Structure 1
């Protein structure tokens, strides 16, 4: 077989949604770095991902109002969430079940992406609040989508500066072409299954430790260093000597640095200063400098989001939930695109096992033959 394992570097289809060509992330042809620096809103980027063109002012305002108005969960969903969200399972397991639940407590046949995205954001915020024994918060119609999501998670309405930063965080995580969870969603979409089934499959893929969850392990590493009163470089040397991976570094596509990480670094530093976590940021910088010097690996998108989410007051176990909330917009964009193609994804495999075997000769049940 000529193709590399994991299909690394193999182009399997076309897309109009996003690209990482030349290690530059773009959404429908627009540089994500440019949009982040220009303080684009999350709603504007979602509109772009879904329609592949930017909205005018009226379209953007209508889209924002529509999404916010739909950030309401059915009463039966809330009732069931109050039960399952407290189960002693990882929050991503709770989200997997919740996503499937949304597909049974809503009118699945008539739910469209705006309603589905809005409910996913609200459900994720609700899971975080319930697990923290805090009351479920209703949407504020005066806030945008990202601001409402942050408010419904933390109970605090962001000021303009925090609003810009969190919108940027959500934009940077919104899509990343054919990553594992997105491709999983596309495979399911190619069967013409419903949106909730596609999202449930994507959540299952994101739950895997080789895809999602890296931000949680980055924070675990920081806590090991701090709580063990260890020198950061000595810690890394010891981990590498034991053959352990240093979380938050390297990327299959970005060999010269993840463009998202460069932007997130500045946000992490700002929030760390404001929340008394600058020591954690300094540790991260020490590790980043050492890793680049010794291994040539750059921080990836997970490295700084770990500290950002901590500074926002979120528990480590919920970090991947926030990732899923941001990425849902991209998942839906790809599901819509795949549905339009009306082509079942069904690749072939190359069989490499034994051949020309005789069941008659090899079976142990000779007496029945």
Structure 2
């Protein structure tokens, strides 16, 4: 007897795997990371605490945090050959494609590439966390016709990342806000890019291959690329009223409004977006300019009224990055660099308890008899 199969378009509601890494509790409004709520952690902890939590299963003490920071600072540099390859890319290359190339090339320098042991994979994850900010920043500088920058080991992880992007050492508030954004982007259960990484890892492909596939997934406008689209929308208006009109016109033309709605947060605001909204308010206050904040709030109110949709993380992260002086083309690469720890943790878990993904299809084509 044939087993009845149920079709779920887009795999909505399908449980694809077991994990002890993270879970989106939409009823409680919590993003659970190894038992902790990510939103609460974002108020008291830094990005490196989440790195330690995801890769070691526990929050670090002061000594462990210090050792992690030092460990990463000693591995910022990337092989010169990786930079040479990036210099061969045409100036029209999208920064996400440059990141994808740099990440793929980096895998060739891993002398234990075929080793899937958890300990080796964890060392690999730390190396990637250290090197990807250097690749993200310098690949963009190369495409922009600028000289590459050397990382500064004396700076904190987030401060160095932001320095390499802007060329300026960030002020305390700028470092704090940027670090919080990395934390909020660090892990989010099973979005498309994480699923992509796990599907690739399930073939026992290496971590670089799994993450390279995740870059391609995250580039899409329906995933990570939404933050870029949000900022371009904001730049098309000058006042809250103009932004409301812009969004209203898009709705009238039945266009999709980027930065609103989420496949999981259907009836409430993405809790990460609220944290970035608060960060935007802090930056606006420090700059004495709240125009972007007022525009975003006007758009938020309009979309809730007209469509019952709420902001996702990208909606408020975009203006935050703009106020930090980050080029729009780097919004999604930064997203990926911060998510590297979550992706790596998922690859490690997949390799440790592997089951090859092999779904079936609902066939809708013809069937002939001869």
Q: TM-score, normalised by structure 2?
A: 0.90
Please give the alpha-carbon distance, in whole angstroms, between the structure 1 residues aligned to 2:353 and 2:110.
26
Paired with 1:167 and 1:35, the residues of 2 have a C-alpha distance of 12
How far apart are 1:354 and its partner, in Å?
Answer: 2.1
1:216 counterpart = 2:224:
no
One of 328, 333, 340 as aligned partner of 1:316 = 328
- Which residue number in structure 1 is paired with residue 117 of structure 2? none
Superposed, which structure 2 residues align to 1:351-362 within 5 Å? 351-358=363-370
2:355 is matched with which residue? 343
Correspondence for 1:11: 15
What is the aligned partner in structure 2 of residue 367 from structure 1? none
| Conserved? CA contact 1:16–1:52, under 8 Å | no
Measure, in 1, the Cα distance between the counterparts of 2:153 and 2:369: 68
Alignment of 1:202-213 (within 5 A): 202-213=214-225
RMSD of Structure 2 on Structure 1 (CA): 1.9
CA deviations on 1:249-281 (whole Å, 9 max, x unpaired) are 111111211000000001112223434652122
Larger radius of gyration: 1
Matches within 5 A, 1:123-138: 123-138=135-150
2-structure distance, mates of 1:60, 1:198: 27
Q: Is structure 2 residue 169 aligned with structure 1 residue 157?
A: yes
* Aligned counterpart, 2:36: 30
What is the CA–CA distance in structure 1 between the aligned matches of 2:253 and 2:200, rounded to whole Å?
A: 39
* 1:263 aligned partner: 275
Q: Is 1:304 aligned with 2:321?
A: no
How far does residue 66 in structure 1 lie from its aligned partner after superposition? 0.8
Report the Cα distance in structure 1 between the residues aligned to 2:339 and 2:149, rounded to whole angstroms: 22
Q: Which residue of structure 1 aligns with residue 105 of structure 2? A: 101
User: Counterparts of 1:128 and 1:88 in 2: how far apart (Å)?
Assistant: 11
| Cα distance, 1:159 vs structure 2 | 2.8
What's the CA shift string for 1:290-336, capped at 9, x where partnerless? 11122221111000111011111122222111111111111111001
Select which of 296, 299, 322 maps to 1:287: 299
Is 263-272 or 344-353 further displaced after alignment?
344-353
Distance 1:240 1:311, change over 3 A: same
Partner of 2:68: 63
Shift of 1:3: 3.5
Find the aligned partners of 2:145 and 2:287 in 1 and give their Cα distance. Answer: 23
Q: Note the alpha carbon deviations across 1:107-164, whole angstroms, 9 max, x for none.
A: 3527621112211121111123323333322222222211211111112222332222
1:108–1:194 CA contact under 8 A, matched in 2 = no
- Indicate the residue corresponding to 1:248 in structure 2: 259
Which is worse superposed, 73-82 or 189-198?
73-82
TM superposition score normalised by structure 1:
0.91
Question: 1:175 and 1:141 mapped to 2: Cα distance?
Answer: 25
Asked if residue 51 in structure 1 is aligned to residue 56 in structure 2, the reply is: yes
For residues 184 and 301 of structure 1, the distance between their equivalents in structure 2, rounded to whole angstroms, comes to 21
Gaps of 5+ in 2: 114-119
Q: Secondary structure at the match of 1:25?
A: strand
How many Å separate the matches in 2 of 1:272 and 1:246? 24
- Could you tell me which runs of 5 or more consecutive residues in structure 1 were left unpaired when the two chains were aligned: 359-369
The alpha-carbon deviation at position 339 of structure 1 amounts to 0.5
Q: Distance between the aligned counterparts of 1:193 and 1:259, measured in 2?
A: 34
**Would the aligned equivalents of 2:83 and 2:139 in 1 still touch at CA under 8 Å?**
no
Match of 2:245 among 220, 226, 234: 234
Q: Which portions of structure 1, spanning 4 or more consecutive aligned residues, are displaced by more than 4 angstroms? A: none
Contact 1:207 1:213 in 2 (8 A): yes
- Tell me the CA shift for residue 95 of structure 1: 1.4
Partner of 2:47: 42
Matched residue, 2:116: none
1:230 is displaced (CA, Å) by 6.7
Q: How many residue pairs get matched?
A: 355
Q: Does 1:87 align with 2:91?
A: yes
